Amino acid sequence: MDIDRRSFLTATAGAAAIGMTATGTTRANAQATDTAAPTGPVITRQIGRTGRSVTALGLGTFLTFDLIPGDSRDRLRETVARYTAGGGGVIDTSPLYGSAEVTVGAILSEMEEARDVFLANKIWSTGEYLGDTSHAEASLQQSKLRVWRSKIDLMQCHSITNAGVVIPLMQAWKQEGHIDHVGVTHHESSYQAELEALVTGGQVDMVQTNYSIFNRSAEERLLPSAADNGVGVLINLPLEKARLMHIVQDRPLPDFAGEFGATSWAQFFLKWVIAHPAITCVLCGTSNPDHMTDNLGAMRGPLPDQAMRQRMVRHMETIPGFDTIGAMPWYPGKGDLYRGQIRQAQAAAQDRLID
C-alpha cells in the first residue's frame, strides 16, 4: 500500500466527519479471546533520525503492570511472552508507573528472546533547585538497575516535566552512550503545541503523544511536523484507556473491517492508528495474555488506506457514546482490575482528604 505521506497527512487532518451506517458480523466481541498466534510479516517502521527499525505495535505498562510487591507476575510474564513470540519488539515503561518498571526489567532479564526488545523509559524529575540535575542522574542509574541494562534504547522526558533541564541532559547521555534516543511525552492534547515546538526545534529523536480514532487532534500539526523533521512518533491511548472498547462491546464489526484484515474491535482501532504514515509505534497496554494475542493481529496484514480510515471514523460516529468518550472514566467497568501501588496511593490520598 503506497500512500504519499504529505498528501495523506493533509487530507486526513481536513477530512469531514459525516454519519454513515454500516453493519457486519465479523466478530461480536469487542476483544477476541482465542489464543492462536497471528501469522505473516510483522509491520515495522524506522525512526527517521537514526534509522532504527521497530515494530509498529508496542506494549505499554501504565497501571497494567503495576502490582503490589509480592503479587504473582505470572500473568504479566505470559503477556510479555506472547508479545515477543508474536513478533513484538517495543516496551514502554516509567519510574512513575509504580512497580511496572522493575517488573518489566525482571521479566525481560529472565527471557532470552526478549532481551533485544527496544526499551522506552522516562525521566520524571526536577531537582533540589532550578537547574539541578542530580535527581535525573539518580533516576537514570536507578532505571538501569531496575531494567538491568547498561544502555536504554529511548529515554523520554515524562510529560514535558522540567524539559529545559532534562532534554539537554538526555542529549548529553546520548553522546556519552547511556541512551540511544532522546524523547519527550505527554498524554493530553492541550500539550501537543509544546511537543511540536520541541520537534521543530530539533531537540528530540522521538515524541510520544495521544492519538486515537476518537481524539484526532495530533493530525493537525504534531504528526505532520514529526514527519517533516524525521522524528519518530510513539502513540499512547489508542484505545482511550478501554473507553473505545466499552462502547462497542457486544456490537458486530462492520463488514468492511475484513477489507483490512481486522477480526476484532481492538484490531479495528489499532490498525486505524498504525495506518497513519507519520506514526512509528502504537503503545497498547494490557495484562491479559489473550488480549495481547488479539492485539498482535493489528501488526500484520493490510492496513486501511486514507479513504478507509475516513470511513471507519464515519462508522464510529454512528455508535452511541462515541461523542462523549472524553467524559468517561478510564477503564469503565474495570475499577477493581488494576490495584497496584499507584491506585493504593491515590486511594490513600483521597481518604486523607475525606477525613
DSSP state of 150: S
Please report the sign of the dihedral spanned by the C-alpha atoms of residue 290, residue 89, residue 157, residue 70. positive
**pLDDT computed for residue 10 by the predictor:** 44
* Mean pLDDT along residues 210-231: 98
pLDDT band at 338 (very low <50, low <70, confident <90, very high): confident
pLDDT band at 106 (very low <50, low <70, confident <90, very high): very high
d(CA 63, CA 128) in angstroms, rounded, equals 28
Domain count, the chain: 1
* Mean pLDDT along residues 118-138: 96
**pLDDT computed for residue 37 by the predictor:** 54
pLDDT band at 32 (very low <50, low <70, confident <90, very high): low
Model confidence, pTM: 0.90
Location of C-alpha cell 510479516: 41
Alpha-helix residue ranges (DSSP H) falling in the chain = 5-13, 74-85, 100-110, 134-147, 163-176, 192-200, 222-228, 243-248, 265-274, 289-296, 306-316, 341-354
Question: Which has the minimum average pLDDT: 35-39, 79-83, 228-232?
Answer: 35-39
Percent of the chain scoring above 90 in pLDDT: 80
Contact predicate 298/89, CB 8 Å: no
The letter for the amino acid at 230 is: G
Q: Which carries the bigger pLDDT value, residue 336 or residue 38?
A: 336
Question: Does the pLDDT at position 157 exceed 70?
Answer: yes
Q: Is 346 exposed, middle or buried (0-12, 13-18, 19+ CB in 10 A)?
A: exposed
174-200 pLDDT, tens per residue?
999 999 999 999 999 999 999 999 999
Average pLDDT, the chain: 90
Residue 182 phi, psi (nearest 5): -105, 130
Contact predicate 248/22, CB 8 Å: no
d(CA 67, CA 63) in angstroms, rounded, equals 8
* Mean pLDDT along residues 282-288: 97
Range of the domain at 162: 5-354
The letter for the amino acid at 321 is: G
4-31 pLDDT, tens per residue?
444 444 444 444 332 333 334 334 456 7
Can you give the CATH number for the domain in which 194 is found? 3.20.20.100
d(CA 269, CA 283) in angstroms, rounded, equals 12
